[in-house]
Amino acid sequence: MDLATPGLHALGKPDLWSASLLGKISHDLVTGDNSYVRPMVGVGVTRVLRNAYGESGAGGANLQVEKEWDTFVSLHPAIEFGGEHALEDSTLLRPYLRLGLTRFLSDNDRHITASLQGAPAGVEPLHGSHQVGQYLRRRLLGLDVLTKKGATVRLDYTGQFSSHSSANAVWVKLSMPF
């Protein structure tokens, strides 16, 4: 955080921990020789702990941030479209597209409470919150490549979007028998 005094910066190291439990059911509907539609629904619970921490480097303007627990309960309906295509060397290509929604069934605001280290006794702490939105639109686009020798490569793009935020991720996973 930059403060009014030039060259003065407050630095802090928040420590976050989370645990999640997600259950999902789905059913594959074969729509052709090499394609499917997979409707699915999931329910999840996530518990997030942000430990208390203090900033340093800015004297009395440093913040002392209080410990905070947040719990999020969510519903995840989605539909996936995919298929399988064999190449001449027996390699299988499995493209897929998943479109879904995350609906938070609980309050989805992130809260923070902090005090200025230099504040006089009796001054109330600062309260803030960040709204992510009750709905996240989700899309996932991927390709699995399965080789004749048993190796699998998964390429994946995932995007989550709400009225207040967005997140994008790209990843690659390689699995090989040994």
pLDDT, tens only, 73-130: 999 999 999 999 999 999 999 999 999 999 999 877 788 899 888 888 888 998 988 7
One DSSP character per residue, 40-94 reads: EEEEEEEEEEE--EE-BSSGGG-EEEPPEEEEEEEEEEEEEEEE-EE-TTS-EEE
**Mean per-residue pLDDT for 3-18?**
81
For residue 2, pLDDT over 70 is answered with no
For residue 1, pLDDT over 60 is answered with no
Alpha-carbon span 36 to 162, nearest angstrom: 28
Select from 136, 162, 130 the least CA-distant residue to 44: 136
pLDDT tens string 63-73: 899 999 989 99
Alpha-carbon span 117 to 112, nearest angstrom: 16
Alpha-carbon span 95 to 91, nearest angstrom: 13
pLDDT tens string 133-174: 789 999 999 999 999 999 999 999 999 998 888 999 999 999
8 Å CB contact between 143 and 98: no
Assigned token pair, 177: 């028998």
Alpha-carbon span 118 to 135, nearest angstrom: 39
**Mean per-residue pLDDT for 4-11?**
76
What is the structure's pLDDT at 167? Answer: 93
